[in-house]
Amino acid sequence: MENPLTPEVLADPVALTRALVDMESVSLNEKAIADCVEEVLRAVPHLSTFRHGNTVMARTDLGRAQRVVLAGHLDTVPHNDNFPSTLRGDLLYGCGTSDMKSGVAYALHLAVSLPEPKYDVTYFFYEAEEIESQYNGLFLVSEAHPQWLRADFAVLLEPTYGVVEAGCQGTLRAIVTTHGERAHSARSWRGVNAIHGAGEVLRRLQAYQARRVTIDGCEYREGMNAVRIVGGVSGNVIPDRCEIEVNFRFAPDRDGAAAEAHVREVFAGFDLAITDLAPGALPGLDNPAAREFLAAVGAAPVGKLGWTDVARFAAMGVPALNFGPGDPNLAHHKDEHVEIGKIRDGAATLHRWLGSAVAR
């Protein structure tokens, strides 16, 4: 297949976004797009390029005092009658336009067009962000080549609608189980209904007062919610077991142990098992590269409500922010789209930050 990422396309972040969107790359099917990205980067003389699986990494080695990372995932969720892309006025529609091939276009455009940035830059184009963590390209690189991730600061090019979203929340999932005793529903008094026992779990959730936490001027809103209930045996049996899945989104001032302890406190007296736990990331706004990046954006950051791969960098001691042109509210929607103006504005911002100018 002829590589659609031609020099003319690479020179224009908008054309590049569309070309990337038109390359099918649903999670675990990123080989073709990774091949094209790798081919482009290996031809750039100022970059050293490496690959692990379907994750491509390229970096400058200019001896700068600091190293920054620009990272974006190549995969998308499955298509929903929104492939390939369509252009309607100032809006580019298609699967991945917002989440996050417009952000990937930033990194790829800068990688080929900026030979002497003010920082050394590592560019990541990674696989399988949209599915289970075990497949995530950054996770796989952290296991196989942790030195690739070393840096002083990182920007995840996730959709933020052109706003800097600092750090991220942590997320915890737990199963709260209520127990009972089976009986025939015609003689219910001979049993104990585990589904009825779930009422107390739900009452505690309904009464729960979530914190609002401000860190470095960024507000993070916590939340604890039931997201799934499973129970019942058959239409004529009093159930002896009911499971309530709870999702706790917590501010990054709590580590994983503190989040788990808090959930166990809320559901004291119940059988509880933690099934998933991913700590968040503090804003890290005192980093010099972060301060210069915020100056280039020219607007105050906000706290990231949700978990992103910035947490992987934070766990390694690398402060990280989220910044991209797409609207996160449109991610995974059938009518997912991105504004052409947002793509151009964001590209100009990154060029200002890294010490170059972009034609407008």
Active-site positions read 75, 129
∠ CA 278-279-283 to the nearest 5 degrees? 135
Q: Which residue, 101, 97, 103, 99, is CA-closest to 157?
A: 103
- Tokens linked to 318: 């690398």
Residue 307 burial class via C-beta count within 10 angstroms: exposed 0-12, middle 13-18, buried 19 and up: middle
Residues 303, 338: Cα–Cα separation, whole Å:
22
Q: CB–CB of 64/119 below 8 Å?
A: yes
* Close Cβ partners of 277 (under 8 Å, ≥ 6 residues apart): 170, 171, 172, 173, 256, 259, 260
Strands 153-156 and 91-93: unpaired
Residues 250, 255: Cα–Cα separation, whole Å:
9
- What is the total residue count of the chain? 360
Q: CB–CB of 158/328 below 8 Å?
A: yes
Residues 253, 218: Cα–Cα separation, whole Å:
12
Residues 3, 108: Cα–Cα separation, whole Å:
14
Residues 245, 274: Cα–Cα separation, whole Å:
10
Q: CB–CB of 10/109 below 8 Å?
A: yes
